[in-house]
Amino acid sequence: MNPLARRIDAALPQTQCTRCGYPDCSAYAEAIAAGEAAINHCPPGGADGIARLAAITGQPIVPLNPENGIDGPLTLAVIDEGWCIGCTLCIKACPTDAIVGSNKLMHTVIEPYCTGCELCIPVCPVDCISLEVVSGERTGWQAWSAEQADLARSRYEARQQRLQREAREHDARLEAKARMKFDDLQAHSLHTDPATLDKKHAVIEAALARAKAKRENQQG
């Protein structure tokens, strides 16, 4: 991230809500810095956020784009524990790991970690998640603090690192399993026909090659 994008990112509320049209706040910051996005696409930042971005970029202050949302109060996700079926979809959707629970067990929201991003709402199959206003009539940066933004950013980054680590570990397990079969295919196959075994051997060899290329690309 270049210096301008870094300054822009620091001025964003870090709710990671994606309402700007980008996958996270840093991607939106980079798009603004590159001249690919306007400064008025961040509802959580509100009017104050637009003013901050205008000061950094030198662009004029403009109203929030209504297509991205409204300048509303800070909200907190609340799970109706009586209706929660433990599907874990909200856990997977939460960008700051603010929801805890296990498969088929009740989920709950850790209030200080919730950014009010609303990403858990549409994925809930039983509509057991609601939003509770926690900032009264205050909106944007009047309802959100730099400390909260820093916490949200650190939790989002930690989650991204965890997901990447888990993906690497998953790929490593699959590669190890494929390697085991590749080394002694006849012992791990129900087929005995040499031609069939040769085909399976070629398929596994290609899969191992793809796994190696993917690993080298990630390391590079």
Domain of 124, CATH number, reads: 3.30.70.20
Q: What is the pTM of this model?
A: 0.79
Counting other chains too, the contacts that 118-121 makes at CB distance below 8 Å and 24 or more residues apart are 118/17, 118/75, 118/77, 119/17, 119/18, 119/93, 119/94, 119/95, 120/77, 120/90, 120/93, 120/94, 121/77
For residues 132 and 124, is the Cβ–Cβ distance under 8 A? no
Residue 136 and residue 84 in one domain: yes
- pLDDT tens digits, the chain, 220 residues: what are they? 899 999 999 999 999 999 999 999 999 999 999 999 999 999 999 999 999 999 999 999 999 999 999 999 999 999 998 899 999 999 999 999 999 998 888 899 999 999 999 999 999 999 999 999 999 999 999 999 999 999 999 999 999 999 999 888 877 787 777 676 656 666 666 566 666 656 666 766 676 677 667 766 766 6
CATH number of residue 28's parent domain: 1.10.15.40
Range of the domain at 207: 167-219
CA geometry: angle 95, 101, 105, nearest 5 deg: 140
Question: Into how many domains does the chain fold?
Answer: 3
Residue 148 lies in a domain: no
Residue 98 and residue 136 in one domain: yes
